Structure 1
Amino acid sequence: MEMPDYADYDGLGLAELVAKKAVTPLELVEAAIERIEKHNPTLNAVVYKGYDDARRWATGDLPDGPFKGVPFLIKDLHMPVAGWPRTSGSRFCRHVVDAEDGGLTRRYRQAGVVPVGKSNLPEFGITGTTESAFLGACRNPWSPGHSTGGSSGGSAAAVAAGIVPLAHGGDGLGSIRIPAACCGVVGLKVTRDRNPNRPDGYDYAYGLVVDNVMTRTVRDSAAMLDATGYPDPASPYAPPPKARPYMEEIQASPGRLRIGWRAGRELHPDVEATLLATVALLSQLGHDVFERRLDVDFRALNLARGPAGGANFAGGMSRIIDEIGREPEPDELEPLTWASLKAGRRVTGAEAMRSLQAMRAMNYRTLAAFENLDAYLTPVMTAPAPEIGWLDPVAVPPREVNERQAQLYPYCAPFNFSGQPSISLPLGMSQDGLPIGMMFTAKYADEATLFRLAAQLENEAPWKDRRPQVWG
Structure 2
Amino acid sequence: MGFADYAEYDGLGLAGLVKRGEVSPAELVEAAIERIERHNGVLGAVVHKAYDEARQTAAGDLPDGPFEGVPFLIKDLGAQVKGWPRTSGSRFAQTPADTTDSELVRRYRAAGVVLLGKSNTPEFGIPGVTQSERLGPCRNPWNPDHISGGSSGGAASATAAGMVPLAHASDGLGSIRIPAACCGLVGMKITRDRTPICEVSDGALGFSVHHVVSRTVRDSAAMLDATDGAQPGDPFQAPAKAGPYLAEVEKSPGRLRIAWSAETPSGRPIPEPMLAALHRTAELLKGLGHEVFEQGLGIDYRTLYRAQSLASASNFSANVKRWVDLLGREPEPGELGPLAQRAYEAGQKLTGQQAFWGFQQLRLMNRQILSAFEAFDVYLTPVMSTPAPRVDWLDPLMDDLREFDRRQAATYGTTPPANFTGQPSLSLPLWQSDEGLPVGMMFTGRFADEATLYRLAGQLEKEAPWKDRRPPIWN
Mark yes or no: TM-score above 0.5: yes
Residue aligning to 1:415:
418
After the TM superposition, which of the residue ranges 363-372 and 97-106 deviates more from structure 2? 97-106
Query: Percent same amino acid at aligned positions?
Result: 58
Find the aligned partners of 1:201 and 1:3 in 2 and give their Cα distance: 41
Find the aligned partners of 1:237 and 1:41 in 2 and give their Cα distance: 42
Residue aligning to 1:192:
192
Find the aligned partners of 1:322 and 1:102 in 2 and give their Cα distance: 22
1:177 deviates by 0.4
After the TM superposition, which of the residue ranges 194-203 and 288-297 deviates more from structure 2? 194-203
Residue aligning to 2:215:
216
Spell out, residue by residue over 1:304-327, the C-alpha distance to the aligned partner (whole angstroms, 9 max, x if none): 112210111112212223333322
Q: Spell out the pairing of 1:243-258 with structure 2 (5 A cutoff).
A: 243-258=242-257
Spell out, residue by residue over 1:378-426, the C-alpha distance to the aligned partner (whole angstroms, 9 max, x if none): 0000001000022211124222222221221110011111110000000
Q: Is the 8 A contact 1:339 1:398 kept in 2?
A: no
Residue aligning to 1:154:
154
* The one of 261, 268, 278 aligned to 2:271: 268
1:95 deviates by 5.6
Residue aligning to 1:458:
461
Q: Is the 8 A contact 2:169 2:210 kept in 1?
A: yes
Residue aligning to 1:107:
107
Q: Is the 8 A contact 2:42 2:144 kept in 1?
A: yes
SS in 2 for 1:12: helix
Amino acid aligned to 1:251:
E
Q: Spell out the pairing of 1:334-353 with structure 2 (5 A cutoff).
A: 334-353=337-356
Find the aligned partners of 2:38 and 2:174 in 1 and give their Cα distance: 29
1:349 deviates by 2.5
Amino acid aligned to 1:394:
L
Find the aligned partners of 2:60 and 2:399 in 1 and give their Cα distance: 47
Amino acid aligned to 1:107:
R
SS in 2 for 1:121: coil
Unpaired segments of 5 or more residues in structure 2?
Answer: none
Q: Which runs of 4+ in 1 moved over 6 A?
A: none
Residue aligning to 1:290:
293
Cα distance change, pair 198–133 in 1 and its aligned pair in 2 (3 A): closer
Cα distance change, pair 466–201 in 1 and its aligned pair in 2 (3 A): farther
1:469 deviates by 0.7
1:345 deviates by 1.6
1:329 deviates by 1.1
Find the aligned partners of 2:217 and 2:38 in 1 and give their Cα distance: 27
Q: Spell out the pairing of 1:306-455 with structure 2 (5 A cutoff).
A: 306-455=309-458
Q: Is the 8 A contact 2:17 2:23 kept in 1?
A: yes
Amino acid aligned to 1:258:
R
Q: Is the 8 A contact 2:311 2:359 kept in 1?
A: yes
Find the aligned partners of 1:367 and 1:429 in 2 and give their Cα distance: 31
Q: Is the 8 A contact 1:298 1:414 kept in 2?
A: no
Instruction: Give the structure-1-normalised TM-score.
Output: 0.97
Residue aligning to 1:79:
79
Query: Is 1:53–2:53 an aligned residue pair?
Result: yes
Q: Is the 8 A contact 1:202 1:316 kept in 2?
A: no
Find the aligned partners of 2:188 and 2:199 in 1 and give their Cα distance: 22
Cα distance change, pair 378–413 in 1 and its aligned pair in 2 (3 A): same
Find the aligned partners of 2:414 and 2:139 in 1 and give their Cα distance: 23
After the TM superposition, which of the residue ranges 409-418 and 312-321 deviates more from structure 2? 312-321
* The one of 296, 303, 307 aligned to 1:304: 307
Amino acid aligned to 1:39:
H
Find the aligned partners of 1:201 and 1:271 in 2 and give their Cα distance: 38
1:52 deviates by 1.0
Spell out, residue by residue over 1:276-323, the C-alpha distance to the aligned partner (whole angstroms, 9 max, x if none): 111110000000000112122222111111221011111221222333
Find the aligned partners of 1:344 and 1:57 in 2 and give their Cα distance: 43
1:217 deviates by 0.1
Q: Is the 8 A contact 1:262 1:293 kept in 2?
A: yes
Q: Is the 8 A contact 1:375 1:442 kept in 2?
A: yes
1:233 deviates by 4.3
Q: Spell out the pairing of 1:89-100 with structure 2 (5 A cutoff).
A: 89-94=89-94, 96-100=96-100
Find the aligned partners of 1:456 and 1:396 in 2 and give their Cα distance: 45
Spell out, residue by residue over 1:446-468, the C-alpha distance to the aligned partner (whole angstroms, 9 max, x if none): 00000000000000000000000
Find the aligned partners of 2:98 and 2:220 in 1 and give their Cα distance: 27
